Amino acid sequence: MKPRNILLTIVGATFEVIGRAAVVPDNFKEANINQAIAKITVHEEINPYYVEAFLNSSFGQVQIQRFARPVAQININLRELQKILIPIPPRSVQDDIALLMQDAYQISKQKLDTSVKLLESINDFILHKLGIRLEPLHHGPFKVSSRDFLGRLDVEYYLPHYLKFQKQLVELR
């Protein structure tokens, strides 16, 4: 694998997994791929990020899905990949499309990061307003009496931090 190579998933459990494309970045050190990933090498005059954007678009996905065969695992062979038609506009148009997609990806990533931070702060706010202080988790062995779990058979429910949380909720009443 080298920078500018495009990696494409060609084996997977579902149709959503097949056909995901990504460009190997310039700062990538070393890695190997296996038989579930195809390596696509493009000519210097073709922007690999444009090809990535096309393959991930609905136009590229329609072609990929057409070749995908649902056997034990859904797959596409390399000969079929060669049949995918990718329109090649002038390099300036490729660069514009690639830049637009990279900008959209960055904005999407920033919004996702912001939403995760917001959700975490909402959790902290609610716990604070309810007067609940959660102590750090200490993983290790614990003991529960069999009469304590009548009606509840899921192990996670009886983890010490959940029991403490339940106790704090009862004390708030």
- Residue 144 confidence (pLDDT): 63
Listed residues 88, 120, 141: the one ending a domain: 88
Helix (H, G, I), strand (E, B) or coil at 8: strand
- Same structural domain, 84 and 157: no
Name, in order, each residue with C-beta under 8 angstroms of 12's C-beta and a sequence gap of 6 or more. 18, 36, 73, 74, 75
Q: Is there a domain that residue 104 lies in? A: no
Listed residues 57, 73, 88: the one ending a domain: 88
Q: Is there a domain that residue 53 lies in? A: yes
- Residue 99 confidence (pLDDT): 94
Listed residues 21, 54, 88: the one ending a domain: 88
- Residue 51 confidence (pLDDT): 94
Chain centroid to Cα 158, Å, comes to: 31
Q: Is there a domain that residue 38 lies in? A: yes
Q: Structurally, how many domains does the chain consist of?
A: 2
Q: Which domain holds residue 70?
A: 6-88
* Separation between Cα atoms, residue 171 and residue 51, nearest integer Å: 59
- Residue 17 confidence (pLDDT): 84
- Same structural domain, 82 and 154: no
- Residue 118 confidence (pLDDT): 92
Q: Is there a domain that residue 31 lies in? A: yes
- Same structural domain, 75 and 146: no
- Residue 151 confidence (pLDDT): 63
- Residue 93 confidence (pLDDT): 95
The encoded tokens of residue 9 equal 């998933």
- Same structural domain, 139 and 80: no
Name, in order, each residue with C-beta under 8 angstroms of 68's C-beta and a sequence gap of 6 or more. 15, 18, 19, 74, 75, 76
- Nearest C-alpha neighbor of 16 from the set 53, 70, 80: 70
- Same structural domain, 69 and 11: yes
What are φ and ψ of residue 28, in 5° steps?
A: -75, 130
- Same structural domain, 82 and 18: yes
- Nearest C-alpha neighbor of 64 from the set 80, 49, 52, 48: 80
- Same structural domain, 20 and 84: yes
Q: Is there a domain that residue 166 lies in? A: yes
**pLDDT tens, per residue, the chain with 173 residues:** 888 999 999 988 888 888 899 999 988 888 888 888 999 999 999 999 999 999 999 999 999 988 888 877 888 888 888 899 999 999 999 999 999 999 999 999 999 999 999 998 898 889 888 888 877 777 777 666 766 656 666 667 667 777 788 888 888 76
pLDDT in tens, 56-85: 999 999 999 888 888 778 888 888 888 999
Q: Is there a domain that residue 23 lies in? A: yes
Q: Is there a domain that residue 107 lies in? A: no
* Separation between Cα atoms, residue 137 and residue 121, nearest integer Å: 19
- Residue 160 confidence (pLDDT): 79
